């Protein structure tokens, strides 16, 4: 099965990085989260309800909708915060944050479980520094418009109804969904990032994270 890969590119000012990433990641997760599954006898299950909430950005003329789950929001904010820190403050730079949806496939001992991605969203970020307030004001609006276009792109891709994992049985649910949250159930996902500094040399943290994940399993 091929993994679908989508790339989104945005140019933002330093202080807009957090909100821009949150906006796009949450928009994707909104579409890739369901309510909590409650399995009943005879293999049927019921699904909980997903609430939504509007979030206004402070540094961008933009509002987006995310799933009403503080837990999920915390996890995403932490990842975005790490990405922002890695990007550094006050310098121009480029980076990429990836949201990967995967399925776990149980392997026999001694092999560890395989993670098979089925959809990867890569958001390429170009950070610029602006000289004055007027430029920042224009940037607020322009980035807001750009994010709007990206949301439309995301919705277009999602609407193509390509591969989605089959709904799992109770024993398999943890191979498809992240069941650790109390209120919603996103598909299993992981967030990784790469930074390219202004000199063009690539400082990759992906390998480090992959190793960490493998050891965690």
**Out of 7, 116, 152, 210, the residue judged to bind another protein by CB under 8 A:** 152
Binding span for another protein by CB under 8 A among 80-88, 101-109, 177-185, 208-216? 177-185
**Out of 3, 9, 56, 78, the residue judged to bind another protein by CB under 8 A:** 56
CA 185 centroid distance within chain: 14
# residues contacting another protein (CB under 8 A) = 41
Binding mask 18-37 vs another protein (x if CB under 8 A, - otherwise)?
Answer: ---------x--xx--xxx-
| Closest CB to another protein among residues 82, 183 | 183
Contact yes or no for 159/181 (Cβ under 8 A)? no
For 145-181, the DSSP string reads HHHHHHHHHHHHHHTT----PPPP-GGGHHHHB---S
User: Do β-strands 184-186 and 45-47 pair in parallel, antiparallel, or remain unpaired?
Assistant: unpaired
d(CA 20, CA 27): 11
Chain residues 90-149 in contact with another protein, contact rule CB under 8 A: 137, 141-142, 145, 148
**Out of 9, 38, 116, 135, the residue judged to bind another protein by CB under 8 A:** 38
Instruction: Tell me how far, at minimum, the Cβ of 150 lies from another protein, in Å.
Output: 9
d(CA 211, CA 36): 30
Locate 59 and state its tokens: 């540094």
Give the residue carrying structure tokens 């590119």. 9
User: Do β-strands 45-47 and 202-204 pair in parallel, antiparallel, or remain unpaired?
Assistant: unpaired
| Closest CB to another protein among residues 114, 156 | 156
d(CA 153, CA 149): 6
Q: Does 155 bind another protein (CB under 8 A)?
A: yes
Instruction: Tell me how far, at minimum, the Cβ of 101 lies from another protein, in Å.
Output: 14
| Closest CB to another protein among residues 24, 94 | 24
Contact yes or no for 123/147 (Cβ under 8 A)? no
Locate 174 and state its tokens: 């943890």
Residue ranges that bind another protein, judged by CB under 8 A: 27, 30-31, 34-36, 38, 46-54, 56, 61, 63-65, 67-69, 137, 141-142, 145, 148, 151-152, 154-156, 158-159, 161, 167, 182-184
């Amino acid at each position: 099965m091929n993994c679908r890969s989508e790339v989104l590119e945005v140019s933002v000012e330093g202080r807009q990085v957090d909100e821009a990433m949150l906006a796009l990641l949450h928009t994707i997760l909104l579409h890739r989260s369901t309510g909590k599954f409650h399995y009943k006898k005879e293999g049927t299950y019921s699904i909980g309800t997903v609430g939504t909430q509007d979030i206004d950005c402070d540094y961008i003329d933009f509002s987006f909708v995310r799933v009403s789950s503080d837990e999920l929001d915390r996890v995403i904010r932490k990842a975005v915060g790490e990405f922002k820190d890695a990007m550094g403050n006050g310098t121009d730079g480029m980076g990429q944050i990836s949201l990967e949806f995967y399925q776990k496939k149980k392997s026999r001992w001694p092999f560890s479980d395989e993670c098979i991605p089925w959809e990867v969203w890569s958001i390429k970020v170009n950070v610029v520094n602006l000289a004055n307030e007027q430029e920042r004001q224009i940037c607020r609006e322009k980035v807001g418009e750009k994010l709007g276009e990206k949301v439309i792109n995301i919705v277009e891709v999602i609407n193509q109804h390509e591969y989605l994992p089959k709904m799992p049985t109770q024993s398999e649910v943890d191979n498809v969904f992240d069941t650790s949250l109390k209120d919603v159930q996103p598909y299993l996902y992981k967030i990784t990032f790469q930074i390219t500094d202004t000199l063009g040399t690539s400082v990759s943290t992906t390998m480090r994270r992959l190793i960490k994940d493998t050891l965690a399993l």
